[in-house]
Structure 1
Amino acid sequence: MRIVKSKRDLRALVSSWKADKQEVGVVMTMGALHEGHLSLVGAAKTDNDRVIATIFVNPKQFDNKADLDAYPVDTDADLKKLEDAGVDLVYLPQAEEVYPKGYSTTVAVGTMQDCLCGATRPGHMDGVTTVVSKLLIQTSPDRAYFGQKDFQQYLLIQRVASDLDLDVDVIGVPTVREGDHLALSSRNRRLSADQRAIAPTLYKVESTIADLIRQGEAVDHVLEWGRKVILDSGFDRIDYLEVRSEEDLELFSDVADRDNLLSGRIFVAAWLGNTRLIDNYPISR
């Protein structure tokens, strides 16, 4: 496994692969790797001749400096996991390689970013779409893989690739979960034992809401019930609990078109102490 830290070295190696007609997949991470990240690597290895992983803790997507400072970093462990998973190349840039002196461009999507995490974390989505755009350009992959736990991010990146005519397929990979259905996240390691026991409530509420909607219950009613259960379980606050379209994140409430509603997805973000957890669940599961 090769490790490179500069765009020049990255591009030279990728160009040699492309000259040899090899297809390239990329998995973008901020480190603190878990099985969810490695599932993306597995999907990329299945589809491509070569796999690149990037590790870059992107400062532009943190609206809270304390959250950035608390983000877990263990690069040596991450590199070992990627090597064991069969990654060919790790791109490990420093901040100045991604955002050189004088950098002043932002990639912002005009739709789908002002809701969910975009509404509660100012500047976060612009930070995500900007860094992903740059990394897609730098790595020049045929395919890029993103976990569906961050479903809004996945849709926004699809939109960026389409709107900017980037020659890459953006592929979503299903969420990987613990045995108790908690979605894998780098943030989970920040939970205390008591908080970790509470965290699976999000999945329980989502899956129950989906069942109730399929049975014909009113959306607003079951969402009200879900908010109460989440807070009663020990969560400190809820950023959102909503039903939205999987296509464009249109907000659904008590709409008459049940078929349209059944194609939606439940989205939730809630806080346990200083840790913010997100998840989503398809109604038509």
Structure 2
Amino acid sequence: MEKQIFMKSKRWNSLLKYDFVCGMWNNRYRRAVCFGVFVFLADLSVQTCNMADIDAGYLGYYTYLMQGLPEYIRTETSIFQLPVPWLIFHGYLFFLICSYPVSDLSGCGQQIMLLSEKRERWWLGKVCWCVWNIFFYYVSFNCIMLVMSRLRGNSFKNTDGLKNVLGIDAGLVNAEEFIMIWACLPVLFSIALGLVQMVLGILIKPVAAYFFTMSYLITSVYWKSPFLLGNFAMILRNRPIITDGLSSYMGMLLCAGVSGAAIFTGRLIVKKKDILEVEK
């Protein structure tokens, strides 16, 4: 029994290493471009926040990127706008992870699926790969943002500058709400939508799945609804930043629920998938 457990553990570790190495290699060119995207977004945030000659600090730069837009209210004179930095940040993340799971269904990926003995194990490996990439994406960007902030000699947090530049009074947000809105919700949203995109990519095509993802992001900007999870990833749509904002706790539960449903659905699809069709 102990030997069987050891062999299963060894096989699982090998599968994770395979996904890590092959996933990195599959996205090597996209990751190279990713660095340029990060530098562009970080510089855009710094330049925008510094236009008023106020030190918003690292927190202000990050908030500028993740704030999104207030709820769009349609009137005769209103103009629908898009939060371009927010869309670029999330759009490139989903572009980064959209194709590898499907591409691994052909070629040597089929052999890996057979060696893993269970298709569910192969699928869980892709889930871990997706989650790891999303965490790495956020950590990498924040590291670059911190470097940009320190190069300009700015502080980590300046609530007065944050309020003056962005109109967000972070001093009214307690520590728990701050962690949820600024850190947890964007990551949980990305994981939820990333897993859904991965399932759709296997069902249809990665390009169509990515088109759905971007359409979903834009729709989230247009309508404020808890069923459009992108709202929770925008700081300006959450309570207590605005009095009629969405509940952060509800957002975390919904993101967790969607992630769980995507993992379960993907498991069923992969279990019944005819992998020979992928190569045709």
TM-score higher than 0.5 = no
CA radius of gyration, larger in: 2
Q: TM-score range by the shorter chain?
A: under 0.3
**Which has more strand, going by share of residues?**
1
Q: TM-score, normalization: structure 2?
A: 0.27
Q: Which has the higher contact order (CA 8 A, sep 6+)?
A: 2
Q: TM-score, normalization: structure 1?
A: 0.26
**Which has more helix, going by share of residues?**
2
